[in-house]
Amino acid sequence: MSEIRHKWSRQEILAIYNKPLMELLYEAATIHRLHHDPNKVQVSTLLSIKTGGCPEDCGYCPQAARYHTDIETNDLMTVSQVKAQALRAKQSGSSRVCMGAAWRNVKDGPEFDQVLEMVRTINKLDMEVCCTLGMLTENQAKRLAEAGLYAYNHNLDTSEDYYKDVISTRAFNDRLETIGNVRKSNVTVCSGGIIGMGERLVDRAGMLVALATLAPQPESVPINALVAVEGTPMADFEPVSIWEMIRMVATTRIVMPETQVRLSAGRTQMSREGQAMCFFAGANSIFSGDKLLTTPNPDVGEDMQMFKFLGLQPQEPFLKGSQPKTVEAKDSQLKPLGERPKWTRPGHTIQRNEMAKTSSKAKG
């Protein structure tokens, strides 16, 4: 396999994004198969352990205290509640539980201690544990690592240029600093963004530049389609098309070949055929369950039916990436087709090649 490239320009990524779709899909699918098993998908369950009341002003988020949305707020869940939810997730095929709290940043104290105990508890269930808790110090990242945290999610959301149009209460560099603090521990990084927030294509490319130039690149990159929620500043934004999602997934796969690309928010608006094309283009991770923190998501049963139809299997926990199926391995299993078999219609003895000769004589 070739060495991972970390230097990308927006123009290079835009050129990939705007390729003729069939060429883009072919390139992305080829790269995907070099680094991953195309029939394995990592399944995560997202659990809101503390909902609402966030002091930030992210324009897309219904959990911001300043917006008037219909979400039901709740205090931090108990460890036993989280364990029960994790067990249900495991029985449904998830290998990872992602716990989200509507905080601007983590504060040391009883609540953080409770989160650490949640991490220890889920880790004992032989499941990957991910958290998204806001900004994080180096010491807090190390404490989470010691508790057994597998991944930390901290999305960039969009490009640095467009970021200030989406959020004013936290700087783009604050997000990069948190990712840097996570990297100082042995916790893997999950970081991606959202499309459909009014950004330009160059902003989508800019977000991918920021992610792809990280060394190492994030182990997981969620690609979200904006889910417009009434009461937020982006309530009236039109949903992105499936073609935009497919192009974004494919481009992400090409520039970050070893990363798990997660098809995240917005799947309720996608057909099975559209999702299948995203998997073909390189997506190999999803959130499963009927809710993503506060927004709707396909039911677990629907996802398992889709997996069965597409021949996909949930990935086992604690794999840095699926084992690739090399072209050589596939070719070694192929057998020569040989001569096409002859056939007869029931009740008849005339074989296909003889019928062809008869037809030819009749025309002559």
* Residues that are catalytic: 54, 58, 61, 98, 130, 190, 262
As a whole number of angstroms, the distance between CA 335 and CA 297 comes to 42
Neighbours of 82 (CB within 10 A): 22
| DSSP H or E run through 12 | helix 10-17
Describe the crossing of helices 110-123 and 79-91 by its angle, rounded to 10 degrees: 30
Phi/psi of residue 152, each to 5°?
-125, 125
337: Cβ–Cβ under 8 A, 6 or more apart, which residues?
A: none
Q: Which amino acid is at 306?
A: M
Reduced to 3 states (helix: H, G, I; strand: E, B; else coil), residue 99 is strand
**How close are the terminal C-alpha atoms of the chain, in Å?**
58
Q: Are 76 and 24 in contact (CB under 8 A)?
A: no
* Residues facing residue 100 across a β-bridge: 48, 132
Write the burial class of residue 212 (CB in 10 Å: 0-12 exposed, 13-18 middle, 19+ buried). Answer: buried
Q: Are 96 and 317 in contact (CB under 8 A)?
A: yes
Q: Which amino acid is at 206?
A: G
Residue 216: is the preceding peptide bond cis (ω within 30°)? yes
* Closest-CA residue to 284 (of 258, 260, 314, 248): 260
**Strand pairing class (220-225; 295-296):** unpaired
Place of tokens 């100082």: 184
Residue 336: is the preceding peptide bond cis (ω within 30°)? no
Q: Which amino acid is at 324?
A: P
